[in-house]
Amino acid sequence: MWKQRAPRLYALAVAIVERGGALPKTSEDLLSLPAVGQYVANAALLFQGISPLPLLDAGMARTLERHFGERALADIRYDPYLQALAQRVVAVEDSVATNWAILDLAALVCRLKNPRCGNCPVKTTCLYSLEL
């Protein structure tokens, strides 16, 4: 995997240098860079304070789906329900903290195997927990 990452990271660095050393300010421009997908583009815009976008990875997707209901498509990048849901959930005053909270919840409590529903702070409103 690292043999693939190094050339991609180098290509990204070259592209940023060619743009004067600054990251683009739009999702479309970020996605045009080498090695930049939806997660990285969203992270760049989120941490620059440009837009409250979700850091939607497999863990966040799992946590949101368990709480609110399942997505329709296998690929989280293209599922309209999951994309809209994630966007709504993080569209709050402190979207960075909200993203980190969901990612931490996914890693520590709402785990893929052996979820710790008994320790979950949102278990009373979670569809998955209510089904157990």
Question: Would 94 be classed as within a structural domain?
Answer: yes
Instruction: Looking at the structure, tell me whether residues 21 and 56 fall in a common domain.
Output: no
* pLDDT tens per residue across span 79-119: 999 999 999 999 999 999 999 999 999 999 999 999 999 99
pLDDT digits (tens, 9 = 90+) for 13-65: 999 999 999 999 999 999 999 999 999 999 999 999 999 999 999 999 999 99
At residue 131, the pLDDT reads 86
Residues 59, 124, single domain; the answer is yes
- The verdict on residue 43 lying in a domain is no
58 and 22 in a common domain: no
- Indicate whether this model's pTM tops 0.85: yes
Same-domain status, 59 and 120: yes
- Structural domain span for residue 28: 1-36
Give DSSP secondary structure letters for the chain.
Answer: -HHHHHHHHHHHHHHHHHTTT---SSHHHHHTSTT--HHHHHHHHHHTTS-------HHHHHHHHHHH---SSS-TTT-HHHHHHHHHHH-STTHHHHHHHHHHHHHHTS-SSS--GGG-TTGGG-HHHHH-
Q: Give the number of domains in the chain.
A: 2
